[in-house]
Structure 1
Amino acid sequence: MTIAKMSMNRNSSRYFKISVNGFENGCMSGIIYHAGTAPGIRFENYLEMMLHMNRIFDELANPKRTMDYRRFGGTKLPEPPIQEYDQLEDGTLATFKLNVKYRYNTSWQGEISWLEGQEKQEFESFLQMTYWIEQVLNGPGDRGQPQKISNVCQIAVDSFEGGLLAGSVQNAFLNYLEDFTGTIALADAMGHFIGLGSLKDDDSGGQNEDIRIIPDKMWSVYREGGKEATFLIKILFREHSTWQGVIRWRETGEKQAFRSFMELVLLMTSALESSDGRILYEDRYLHKNRESALMEG
């Protein structure tokens, strides 16, 4: 094989065609075609799409990962089943051409083109890329800056079926709770109070000058956590168009640092994939009821 052809093959391995056939409540589904050729692979959400692409990049070692993804001890990443699709088709809602040039900082860098709209966008993180896709599918919108800013939150996961995260983002000190379904909806919910600018290192989780009474209902939800798992998040930095910080798996007490939103999601999903969160939730619920019964005599 000539050097020119080898180079062409290696470059084509960085490309994907994304045919989007469904987009509801921030959850995208469709078919990805590696190097723009059939057969494709079906995906039901952003997480499945990202896991399939990372698997192919890893198998080809192109583009190479510069860092290994961190995981909690004894956990493993989800491995969605490969459902092939023989026909090469454009998406019924939109079609994108994705070129992932690098995988630095536990994320992706490259450019993405919306074929129907003839628009192109460079990105330096998976988070920035998905925000742009959402803007194309939803139309332009103003995310704005949050009125309440904090760098800590609790993510309560109530369901994790087929790679689809669902639950709520909570901050009791700000009396804040927002439900989410899907990866990009999780990012939106976090961004609504974390903000996109500089963050204060405030361990209290709220603004010191904004002291408020926290409703009992909010405290109850915050303490109970998620049905599958609960994670405490502290954002320390926002660099490379993504977030860096620390995550604590509340049920086990284990902590890990994350270097991107992608790595944060992979840490959460590896924990969910490798544990029986339902039992942990029921244990917490029974323990809480036992404590109440003892207090009531």
Structure 2
Amino acid sequence: MSEAKQMLFARNVICICIEKKESGDYIGLLWHQYSDDSIEFNGVSDMLMLMDDLYDEWDFPQRSLEKREFNKTRDHEEMNGDPDNLVIDKVQAASGVKNVQNKRGSLGTFFVQVKFRQNATWQGTVIHEESNKKFDFTSAMGLVEIIDKSMSSN
């Protein structure tokens, strides 16, 4: 009996394609379903920041903690937006949805769904494409550890 292929279907799935490893750090591309273009990252910390920026842009999943700003005041209307009209719905309507399930990195491929951004970190699920294994993580550091262990076992 063949093993069923693990897949994630969510509004915020990001495909991490690892292209090379330099000085113990990973370099590669991020793909998401709202763009035909990839986003290059140069190291794990860059990757995490870029992903967090996308989640902020989409406002999905929403942060449980707001970034502290001292010089800027937020518009009251922006803070109390309509909960029925999500930003990610507008992004999806404007750009359509592309397939990221066919993207592959030369060293490794990971499909990440962050379900929550609570306690100043991420919680979610990741699938390592090459091993077809699905893992849950409770922090961004946990995600990095899963990626690193999976890459080491390749």
TM-score, normalised with respect to structure 2: 0.67
* CA RMSD, Structure 1 to Structure 2 (Å): 2.4
| Greater RCO structure (CA 8 Å; 6+ sep) | 2
Partner Cα separation in structure 2 for residue 128 and residue 36 of structure 1: 26
Larger Rg: 1
Q: 1:59 Cα shift?
A: 1.4
Secondary structure of the residue aligned to 2:114 is strand
Matched, 1:130 2:144: yes
- Mark the runs of 5 or more structure 2 residues left unpaired by the alignment: 1-8, 72-101
Partner Cα separation in structure 2 for residue 106 and residue 27 of structure 1: 23
Residue 52 of structure 1: aligned partner = 50
Q: Percent identical across equivalent pairs?
A: 26
Aligned residue identity for 2:107: L
What is the aligned counterpart of 1:120 among 120, 125, 134? Answer: 134
How many residue pairs get aligned? The number is 116
In structure 2, do the counterparts of structure 1 residues 93 and 104 end up closer, same or farther at CA, with 3 Å as the change threshold?
A: same
Partner Cα separation in structure 1 for residue 134 and residue 111 of structure 2: 9
Partner Cα separation in structure 2 for residue 121 and residue 115 of structure 1: 11
Q: 1:101 Cα shift?
A: 0.6
Partner Cα separation in structure 2 for residue 64 and residue 42 of structure 1: 24
In structure 2, do the counterparts of structure 1 residues 132 and 60 end up closer, same or farther at CA, with 3 Å as the change threshold?
A: same
Partner Cα separation in structure 1 for residue 107 and residue 135 of structure 2: 18
Structure 1 segments of 4 or more deviating over 6 A?
none
In structure 2, do the counterparts of structure 1 residues 36 and 97 end up closer, same or farther at CA, with 3 Å as the change threshold?
A: farther
Q: Residues 114-144 of structure 1: CA distance to partner in whole angstroms, max 9, x if unpaired?
A: 011111100000011101110011229xxxx
Q: 1:69 Cα shift?
A: 4.1
Q: 1:96 Cα shift?
A: 0.6
Matched, 1:98 2:96: no
Partner Cα separation in structure 1 for residue 145 and residue 17 of structure 2: 17
Secondary structure of the residue aligned to 2:21 is strand
TM-score, normalised with respect to structure 1: 0.36
- Mark the runs of 5 or more structure 1 residues left unpaired by the alignment: 1-10, 75-87, 141-297
Partner Cα separation in structure 2 for residue 26 and residue 109 of structure 1: 25
